[in-house]
């Protein structure tokens, strides 16, 4: 009875949750902390008469945003929102892995779930889109189908052009032009998919608003040489995680890799004899072989010799904290870069990793590299994509600029 009172509705799964955390290499103090968080959540579930099998993201959100700010529980346990959020996310993953609560895909109707699976197969097999691109398209199409049909059958023939236009404009409110354009592109892609299935959707496709956005209208952001120097010097290369983060940063800075490409590098992708790095999961789904700069190679060697923990993973960059024995993900790469920005005083200007890719291209252009060379390094399928960097090549632009009319030369 005492345990039941302490853990509430979660009492039957506390042991499984502790085993789940131990299996992933969490420290004993962290496991105890997460169990206290789960106990607090379990008591709240009991008070709210919420069954264990009905736990999902909305229930977690309600606990964190409605209950926690006004919590007066006699045994509240940990109350830090970030700590509770991490603990409860792990709890929900465990509950789903054990089949105690339904998988996330079952939070929508079976009809919508099957439709999204077919659409995803089309995007992968017919369009050849990368997983990240497919994820965005599925996200907005899921929202569209749920908004229009809910748990009922999908009946596009009942939709009017105004329904399409209203959905895009509502979702695009407050978004940047590029994001608003992506929403329209996702919906247009889905309607074309349905047209291939034999359904006449030409009128609906024509109704999708086209958001004005010119890809080459803006200037590419880039770090100055002094900012770049401060950034690469912001890593603590005396500790294992600092060596790892510095090596990842060198891949971003020297090779212009994307965060996802850095995270996916395997040990077998490095050819030390030839001095090359293979990018096997590039955005264009083509394997690329890049020269490995000496500075980048030294950073990787330093990490391999003095920083990388013992692990069975063949990934080059692995996690140093629980869950251990797993490769880093793109989000960890981005977080390492954001922390470095904060340490060197650039956090107010930059938050992402793509500016490092732009900076690499701008440096090459200033150094005399051709657009073709830069396009090859960045793995652009078309040189036209690379032409945006001409805008920041001021010396060459000055050479071709005509004198102002009436000005003596």
List the one residue out of 131, 112, 167, 79 whose CA is nearest residue 281: 131
67 included as an active-site residue:
no
Q: Which of 283, 338, 366, 379 is catalytic?
A: 283
Winning range, highest mean pLDDT, from 212-226, 311-325, 372-386: 311-325
Name the catalytic one among 334, 357, 358, 363: 357
Looking at residue 225, its pLDDT comes to 87
Cα gap 116→333, rounded to integer Å: 30
pLDDT of 389:
54
Radius of gyration of the chain (CA): 26
Residue 268 counted as domain residue: yes
Q: Please indicate, yes or no, whether residues 252 and 183 belong to a single structural domain of this protein.
A: no
Q: Per the omega criterion (within 30 degrees of 0), is the bond before 323 cis?
A: yes
Report the alpha-carbon distance of residue 148 to residue 25 in Å, rounded.
Answer: 44
Catalytic choice (142, 258, 334, 358): 258
Based on the structure, what is the number of domains in the chain? 3
Q: Residues 233, 382: one domain?
A: yes
Task: Give the domain range for residue 185.
Answer: 110-207
Q: Report which of residues 218 and 167 the model is more confident about.
A: 167
What's the pLDDT score for residue 403?
63
pLDDT of residue 388: 57
Q: Token pair 């009905």 is at which residue? A: 54
Check if 283 is active-site.
yes
Residue 261 in any domain: the answer is: yes
Is 389 annotated as catalytic? Answer: yes
**Same-domain check for residues 95 and 176:** no
CA-closest candidate to residue 223, choices 251, 252, 258: 252
Which of 56, 79, 104 delimits the end of a domain? 104
pLDDT of 400 reads: 46
* Residue 354 annotated as catalytic: yes
- Identify the residue with better confidence: 174 or 92: 92
Beta-carbon count within 10 A of 381 CB: 10
Q: What is the secondary structure of 134-191 as a DSSP string?
A: HHHHHHHHHHHHHHHHTTS---GGG--HHHHHHHHHHHHTT--HHHHHHHHHHHHHHH
Indicate if 154 and 81 belong to the same structural domain.
no
Same domain, 246 and 364: yes
407 falls within a domain? no
Claim to verify: residue 336 and residue 292 sit in the same structural domain: yes
Over residues 6-37, the pLDDT tens digits come to: 788 898 899 999 999 988 888 889 999 999 99
Report whether pLDDT(227) > 80. Answer: yes
pLDDT on residue 349 = 82
Q: How far is CA 68 from the centre of its chain?
A: 28
Contacts of 258 (CB under 8 A, 6+ apart): 283, 353, 354, 357
- 276 φ, ψ (degrees, to nearest 5): -130, 160
Strands 276-279 and 270-271: antiparallel
Active-site residue, selected from the candidate residues 137, 188, 194, 380: 380
Average pLDDT over residues 324-335: 90
Check whether residue 195 and residue 165 sit in a common domain.
yes
Residue 87 domain-assigned (yes or no): yes
pLDDT confidence band for 399 (50 / 70 / 90): very low
Who has greater pLDDT, 405 or 270? 270
Contact between 30 and 83 under an 8 Å Cβ cutoff? The reply is: no
Among residues 246, 303, 341, 389, the one annotated as catalytic is 389
Which pTM value belongs to this model? 0.68
Q: Is the pLDDT of residue 3 over 80?
A: no
pLDDT tens digits, 123-152? 999 998 877 788 889 989 988 998 888 888
* Structure tokens belonging to residue 73: 């529980």
CA separation for the pair 250, 262 (Å, rounded):
10
Nearest to 395 by CA among 357, 371, 359, 368: 368
Q: What is the CATH number of the domain that holds 374?
A: 1.10.443.10
Q: Is the pLDDT of residue 344 over 70?
A: yes
Q: Which of 399, 384, 388, 349 is nearest to 365 (CA)?
A: 388
User: Domain check: are 124 and 235 in the same one?
Assistant: no
Tell me if 164 sits within 8 A of 208, measured CB to CB: yes
The backbone torsions φ and ψ at residue 272, rounded to the nearest 5 degrees and listed phi first, read: -70, -30
- Section 382-393 average pLDDT: 55
The answer, yes or no, to whether residue 395 has pLDDT greater than 70, is no
Question: Is 192 a known active-site residue?
Answer: no
Q: Verify that 273 and 143 share a domain, yes or no.
A: no
pLDDT at 91: 93
**Residue 1 has what pLDDT?**
44
Active site residue 23: no
- Catalytic one of 67, 213, 320, 354: 354
Six-digit token string for 253: 């800075």
Q: Report the alpha-carbon distance of residue 169 to residue 306 in Å, rounded.
A: 53
């Amino acid at each position: 009875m005492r345990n039941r009172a302490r853990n509430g509705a979660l009492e039957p799964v506390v042991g499984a949750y502790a085993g789940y955390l131990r299996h992933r290499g969490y420290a004993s103090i962290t496991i105890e902390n997460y169990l206290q968080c789960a106990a607090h959540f379990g008591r709240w579930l009991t008070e709210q008469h919420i069954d264990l099998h009905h736990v999902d993201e909305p229930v977690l959100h309600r606990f964190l945003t409605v209950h926690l700010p006004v919590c007066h529980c006699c045994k509240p346990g940990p109350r830090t929102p970030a700590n509770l959020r991490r603990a409860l996310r792990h709890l929900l993953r465990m509950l789903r892995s054990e089949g105690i609560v339904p998988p996330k895909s079952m939070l929508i109707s079976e009809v919508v779930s099957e439709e999204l699976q077919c659409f995803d197969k089309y995007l992968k097999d017919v369009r050849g889109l990368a997983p990240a691109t497919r994820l965005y398209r599925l996200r907005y199409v899921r929202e569209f189908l749920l908004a229009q049909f809910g748990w009922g059958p999908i009946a596009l023939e009942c939709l009017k052009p105004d329904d399409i236009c209203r959905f895009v404009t509502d979702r695009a409110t407050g978004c940047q032009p590029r994001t608003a354009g992506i929403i329209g592109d996702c919906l247009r892609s889905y309607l074309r998919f349905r047209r291939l299935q034999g359904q006449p959707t030409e009128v609906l496709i024509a109704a999708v608003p086209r958001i004005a956005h010119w890809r080459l209208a803006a200037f590419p952001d880039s770090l100055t040489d002094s900012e770049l120097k401060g950034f690469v010097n912001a890593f603590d290369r005396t500790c294992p995680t600092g060596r790892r983060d510095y090596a990842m940063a060198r891949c971003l800075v020297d090779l212009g890799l994307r965060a996802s490409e850095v995270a996916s590098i395997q040990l077998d992708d490095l050819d030390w004899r030839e001095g090359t790095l293979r990018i096997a999961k590039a955005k264009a789904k083509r394997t690329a072989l890049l020269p490995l700069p000496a500075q980048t190679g030294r950073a990787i060697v330093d990490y391999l010799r003095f920083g990388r923990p013992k692990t069975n993973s063949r990934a080059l960059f692995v996690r140093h904290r629980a869950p251990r024995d797993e490769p880093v993900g793109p989000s960890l790469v981005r977080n390492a870069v954001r922390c470095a920005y904060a340490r060197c005083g650039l956090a107010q200007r930059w938050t992402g990793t793509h500016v490092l890719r732009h900076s690499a291209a701008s440096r090459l252009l200033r150094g005399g590299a051709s657009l073709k060379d830069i396009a090859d390094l960045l793995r652009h399928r078309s040189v036209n994509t690379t032409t945006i960097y001409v805008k920041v090549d001021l010396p060459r632009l000055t050479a071709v600029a005509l004198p102002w009319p009436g000005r003596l030369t």
